[in-house]
Structure 1
């Protein structure tokens, strides 16, 4: 019997529910630290905003790290695969054009975790935006410019 790839195994139980809150993570190809360039990071943020304006998802909190992002969303009129495909493909085109390059930008797939209703959303958001602190990129969260949360 053929074995399924790890990515397919991750997708096997994936379920998209409108109104559900998810923590989404995507990583750059070969973990290249492209988002050390602030403007490249802002191009990803533009896609988060576009997803909201298109009614796909409401952004609750996010952080763009040098080689990945974490995005806390409430899914609206979309599915997780559709939301992430549009966010990753459009940001890849924009960032590659900005950097004058071509080719694969993101690693295939993404990680998602449904947030249970009993979880403290503010605590999840704080964990997300504290990533630059834990990574040693800054000494204070406010010294890092690529994050936001609706509670602040």
Structure 2
């Protein structure tokens, strides 16, 4: 199936509700492990912080993996599309500038899941921050440099 159809399929039934918590995932183009260099991952982290400072969302937990990003966010003043467009476009500019290159950083689209129950929020946060352990990158979460959770 062509990539444009897959990205369009992700938008079917998508609804953005201010105040709702969402699990969001964005994947690097061709799953290249760009963020194996933690300094490039910090550029994405900077955009997460700026989006929160500007009131788009509250980031409850996040992790920047070598080839993807997971965020648990409480949406504020914008839609999911506006939030993800901003994070992906601004981080693309920053990473491309750092690498002195041009081109796409992220795959088109993103995956979202609305969190239905309050008790799911902390279990999803644990899932997100434990991603580097499951991937075999570290043995302890605190040894991985690209994650955070609001409860810590």
What TM-score, normalized to structure 1?
Answer: 0.95
Tell me which residue corresponds to 2:56. Answer: 56
After superposition, residues 123-138 of structure 1 pair within 5 angstroms as 123-138=123-138
**Is the partner of 1:91 in helix, strand or coil?**
helix
Tell me which residue corresponds to 2:142. Answer: 142
After superposition, residues 106-121 of structure 1 pair within 5 angstroms as 106-121=106-121
What TM-score, normalized to structure 2?
Answer: 0.95
Q: RMSD across aligned C-alpha pairs, in angstroms?
A: 1.1
Assess if the C-alpha contact under 8 Å between 2:56 and 2:78 holds in 1. yes
Q: Which portions of structure 1, spanning 4 or more consecutive aligned residues, are displaced by more than 4 angstroms?
A: none
Instruction: Give unmatched runs, 5+ long, in structure 1.
Output: none
Tell me which residue corresponds to 2:96. Answer: 96
Assess if the C-alpha contact under 8 Å between 2:28 and 2:106 holds in 1. yes
Q: Distance in 2 between matches of 1:69 and 1:13?
A: 22
Q: Distance in 1 between matches of 2:89 and 2:69?
A: 14
Deviation sequence 1:97-149 (CA, Å, 0-9, x none): 01111111110000000001244311110110000000000111111110000
Instruction: Give unmatched runs, 5+ long, in structure 2.
Output: none
Q: Distance in 2 between matches of 1:27 and 1:53?
A: 24
Q: Distance in 1 between matches of 2:41 and 2:18?
A: 27
Assess if the C-alpha contact under 8 Å between 2:10 and 2:110 holds in 1. no
Structure 1 residue 5, shift from structure 2 partner: 1.7
